[in-house]
Chains A and B, each alone.
Chain A
Amino acid sequence: MMIPESELKNIERLRWQCRRGMLELDVLLEAFLDQHYEMLSPRLQRHFLQLLEFPDPVIHSWCVGGENPDDEEFVELVDSIRATSVA
């Protein structure tokens, strides 16, 4: 199925939001975007947008540092990001 132009551009916008100040987040978030984002439920897609608004050290502590978000809403998303294949 062709992905509509508007949806493609939304993904490109998110791709730029995945450009961070830390290499670890660049690699992990962009891989997650490519591998999983389109398959996420609308609720988790919304959470991903919200996650990108957090400061880099916070996202790093969740996705790489092994800490869990206080907000239960993010736990499922963070688990999926951690499981993204980048190796």
Chain B
Amino acid sequence: MALEKQRFDTLILGAGGAGLNAALQLANANLKVAVVSKVFPTRSHTVAAQGGVNAALANVLPDNWHWHMFDTVKGSDYLGDQDAIEYMCREAIPTVYELEHNGVPFSRLDNGKIYQRAFGGQSQNFGGDQAARTCAAADRTGHAILHTLYQQNIRAKTHFFDEYFAADLIQDQEGIILGALVLDIATGEPLLIEAKTTLLATGGCGQVFRTTSNAHINTGDGKAMILRAGLPLMDMEFFQFHPTGIAGKGMLITEGVRGEGGYLINKDGERFMEKYAPNAKDLASRDVVARSIVTEVREGRGCGPEADHVMLKVNHLDEAVIAKRLPGIRESSKIFAGVDPVKDPIPVFPTAHYVMGGIPTDRFGRVMPTSDDDGDHLPGLYAAGECACASVHGANRLGGNSLLDILVFGRLAGKNIIDYVKDNPSHRPLDEANVEWAMGRLGRWDTKGDGITVSDLRKEFRKTMEDHAGVFRVEDMMQEGVEKVRAIREKLADVRLTDYSNTFNTNRTEALELENMIDVGLSIATSALHRKESRGAHSRPDYPKRDDAEWMKHTLYWQEGDRLDYKGVRSQPLTVESFPPKERVY
């Protein structure tokens, strides 16, 4: 049967905040837009973002985009590109107002203006008093934004392909992306979507680690597609871990628990943070607490039958305090850890939360395919959100800047695509050989026989990533990790499905996701092994200092030959003076 084909001006892969905000710009400009999402759009991971969006509106306290920029550059540990950061902080303001006009129900102050809350890492006056910069819609900001953008897209007649899995990008011999091969999950039928422009907005990849706070959908699909198209990923070694996730499950246990007097203990009941951070103890910075937990486990002082976690003790606190100040924690612990924290400590381990790295783009969301500092973008290909790296987070992301990133760069990519399609109104001819290659990759999963199961290899892979490329990063174990993940990549050829049907074959979808996770995992492990310094979220006990002389540069990883290259940080902003690197002190 002939492969079904459909044509659009723009193809958007992913229906979180970035994809939907881009789609809305395009549909409002009467472009023919397709949005492909493997789950129903309002079930994208953006829905889990509770905190809010940073924008210097100055509704509560004096504020200024330049102060926001300073905080973001400092938070990035000076690895963020300062032109992109300036652009994001300036564009934050019209982006939030546009969302407001589109109907996002932001919480309000008594004077009717948008409510803004204080978050860590925000300051007035370049490091002065606490700022209040985060615009919120109660504790459901992500949901409110996603729902509004989805409704607006329906009004604007965006074409949604719900429950379609994007398998591979299709490119011609010049490397120009012509759309993607996607799979209808309900029927198993492939569909070729041709497009003049393609935007990847497929979100993060926390599922590469055994313990993650990310939803199951976050398997790095777009990042892996980019790698297979011969393009690089940037700064993938920078992965933010939250120190206290429920052990073996990953759900976040908020820092508020330790703020209210909860503390960590090892199998001997020792309050171990006293040795690692004698002053701040359990309230030390996230990376210090996370590394201390992993050290305890690695040195044999972990709890449980596998000695693979530590305990967060709260049962010395009054039950009324827990109920009043930590709502939700008790229920969550009972359901996911099987313990009532009023009676017993909660088993915890660091949980992978957010990836700063991704598909390298400029500040218009255009994909940058080379390590050349003055290199040009790849025409017609865009990326935005957590799958992308516009390099606004650098080595670490500030709270409230992740929703901002997806919304600003989704919007700007959309606006840029409108101009591109005006100048490039025709579809380019398909390269049939490339389509066959993509179809062949799908067809590989029809091979029957005995083999490794998807779930077994996934389990081995995620544990390997956690043990060798997670929080604790020293040379020998990371080198071993790269070799192990490469061996796991080889084992993929021996994986066989347990279901060969077409209708809702979740086994096949999970196999495609596993391929993606392994491709992305190698980019993380390889990039992390070679960055011999500690910066932001990348912490190397064997290289404990930040090394600006040698490492003030972005890592680029290509899949072919697991090759790395580097390019300079863009430290010159657009209109203001550069913020020179300083030691980060909070």
Q: Cβ of A20 and Cβ of B506 under 8 Å apart?
A: no
**Any chain B CB within 8 A of the CB of A28?**
yes
Interface centre among B48, B332, B499, B509, by most chain A C-beta atoms within 10 angstroms, is B48
Chain A residue nearest in CB terms to B207: A23
How many chain-A residues does the 8 Å CB contact rule pick out? 26
Residues on A with beta carbons closer than 8 Å to the beta carbon of B266: none
Contact with A along B178-191 (1 / 0, CB 8 A): 00000001100000
Q: What is the 8 Å Cβ interface bit string for chain B, positions 183-216, against chain A (1 contact, 0 not)?
A: 0011000000000000000000000000011111
CB pair A21 B250 closer than 8 Å: no
Residues of B within 8 A of A66 (CB): 328, 331
Query: Number of residues in B with C-beta < 8 Å to the partner?
Result: 41
| Binary contact track B505-544/A, C-beta < 8 Å → 1, others 0 | 1100100000000000000000000000000000000000
Question: Chain A residues near B458 (CB, 8 Å)?
Answer: none
Give the residues in chain B near A23, CB-CB below 8 Å. Answer: 48, 212-216, 249-251
Q: Is the CB of B249 within 8 A of A55?
A: no
- Nearest CB in chain B: distance from A55 CB, A: 6
**In-complex Cβ contact of B336 among A13, A21, A24 (8 A):** A24
Count, A-B residue pairs, CB within 8 A: 97
Contact in complex: A22, B48 (CB < 8 Å): yes
- Contact partner of B43 (CB less than 8 A), chosen from A9, A56, A65, A87, is A56
Q: What residues of chain A lie closer than 8 Å to B142, measured between beta carbons? A: 21
8 Å CB contact of A57 from B47, B212, B217, B332: B47
B338 interface residue, CB < 8 Å from A?
Answer: yes
- Chain B residues lying within 8 Å of A82, measured Cβ to Cβ, are 335
Residues of chain B within 8 A (CB-CB) of A19 are 38-39, 43, 215-217
> B140 within 8 Å of A by Cβ?
yes
B143 contacts chain A at the CB level, 8 A cutoff? yes
User: Given A23-B213, A28-B335, A64-B331, do A16 and B48 touch, yes or no (CB 8 Å)?
Assistant: no
Question: For the complex, is B163 an interface residue (Cβ under 8 Å from A)?
Answer: yes
Interface check B46, CB cutoff 8 A: yes
CA distance A66 to B140 in the complex (A): 16
Residues in chain A near residue B44, CB distance under 8 A:
21
**Contact A64 to B250, CB < 8 A, known contacts A19-B217, A56-B47:** no
* A47 at interface by CB-CB < 8 Å: no
A65 to B214, CA, bound (A): 18
Q: Digit string of A22-36 for contact with B (CB within 8 Å is 1, else 0)?
A: 111111100000000
Secondary structure class of chain A's binding surface, majority of residues: helix
Which B110-152 residues have C-beta < 8 A from chain A?
Answer: 140, 142-143, 146-147
Q: Does B45 contact A (CB under 8 A)?
A: yes
With A20-B39, A21-B215 given, is the CB distance from A64 to B332 under 8 Å? yes
- Restricting to B144-190, which residues have a CB under 8 Å from any CB of A? 146-147, 163, 185-186
What is the 8 Å Cβ interface bit string for chain B, positions 24-53, against chain A (1 contact, 0 not)? 000000000000001100111111100000
Q: Contact between A57 and B331 (Cβ–Cβ < 8 Å)?
A: no
Contact with B along A60-87 (1 / 0, CB 8 A): 0000111000000000000000100111
List of A residues within 8 angstroms of B147 by Cβ: 55
CB distance from B189 to the nearest CB of A (A): 15
> In whole angstroms, how far apart are the Cα atoms of A21 and B372 in the complex?
37
Complexed CA–CA distance, A15 and B42 (Å): 17
A-B contact pairs, 14 of them (CB 8 A): A13-B186, A15-B504, A16-B185, A19-B216, A21-B42, A24-B336, A26-B215, A27-B249, A27-B251, A55-B147, A56-B48, A57-B140, A66-B328, A86-B249
Question: Can you name 10 extra interface pairs (CB under 8 A) apart from A86-B335, A87-B339?
Answer: A13-B186, A13-B504, A16-B506, A21-B45, A21-B215, A23-B212, A23-B214, A23-B215, A25-B215, A57-B143
Chain A interface residues (CB < 8 Å from chain B):
5, 9, 12-13, 15-16, 19-28, 55-57, 64-66, 82, 85-87
